[in-house]
Amino acid sequence: MQKVVAFGGGRGLSASLRALAKLDVDLTAVVTVADDGGSSGDIRATRPVLPPGDLRKALVATADPSRAEAAELFSHRFGGDDFLAGHPVGNIVLLSLLERHANPVEAVAAAGRMVGTRARVLPMSCTPLVIEADLAEGSGTRTITGQHDVAVADGQVEDVRLLPADAPACPETLAAVAEADWLVFGPGSWYTSVIPHLLLPSLREGIAASTARKAVVLNLSEEKETDGLTLAGHVDTLRRYAEGVRFHYVVSGDARTLADPRSLNSAAQSLEARLVAADLAADGVTHDVASLAAVLGKLLVEDGG
């Protein structure tokens, strides 16, 4: 059974996990820990723990169908207008476990047992991280701090980094990367969910040293943080931060790629990667899980490394 590690955060990672969970693979999810919006942001403002939101989404995405009620409970948001309003139950559960366990990896594993997760879900770092970005403004730049503010800010991102810059990756995450047969990046918010995995020095070094086949799944639509950035631009940006990393496949399900793949094919070749174009759109915005599973499954069969 091939070992696959999927990198990302939020809804994009959930899509790739739901697709990979359909395959006969040993699956690990590596999740960003820089979220500071919504419920996670409220929790981070008062408690020094990993933001639980993206970890919860990964657990729910890989939950065993027989535990559907537990997974639905994890996603339920409290109503009303008191201090619990808007918080998902799963975030509160994870908060409790993070406070009970000295090792965040053990806390997430305990939550995974509650929903019968079919994957191992790991934080990229056991240290809560902050995203900081420089955005173009006139003839200069302005600095935006915080994942949420970077994601919604106007202006083209010129540079992005993590704070603290020297935060270590979780040892369990580095071990999973070293043992993997495949590493899959994306889809997801490019600067705040995908690229952060390449900004952590020890994790990037582990990814670069890995002999695993590496694939990146591109988004289907633009987000605020990548407004005006072409698909080829996404690949060029990835290459900028992926020093020493050899990618093998660039997967695109965007209709524009199917119509005219030339610019994206050229960008993929700059990564020494092969472009894989397929119709993956469920609604023009999100990936169809079954179609993405079929494409990734074919790659795993045809190129076992």
What band does 305 get if pLDDT is binned at 50, 70 and 90?
low
Whole-structure pTM value = 0.96
Domain annotation for the chain: domains and CATH numbers: 2-127+161-303 (3.40.50.10680), 130-160 (no CATH)
pLDDT per position as a tens digit, 10-22: 899 999 999 999 9
pLDDT per position as a tens digit, 228-242: 788 899 999 999 999
| Other CB atoms within 10 Å distance of the CB of residue 272 | 10
The CA–CA distances, whole Å, from 112 to 55, 135, 172, 197, 228 equal 10, 37, 16, 22, 38
The whole-number average pLDDT for the span 96-105 is 97
Which amino acid would we find at residue 216? V
d(CA 169, CA 253): 31
Structure-token pair, residue 3: 């070992």
Number of residues that this document lists for the chain: 305
The conformation of residue 31, written as its DSSP 8-state character, comes to E
d(CA 71, CA 61): 8
For residue 193, what are the β-bridge partners?
none
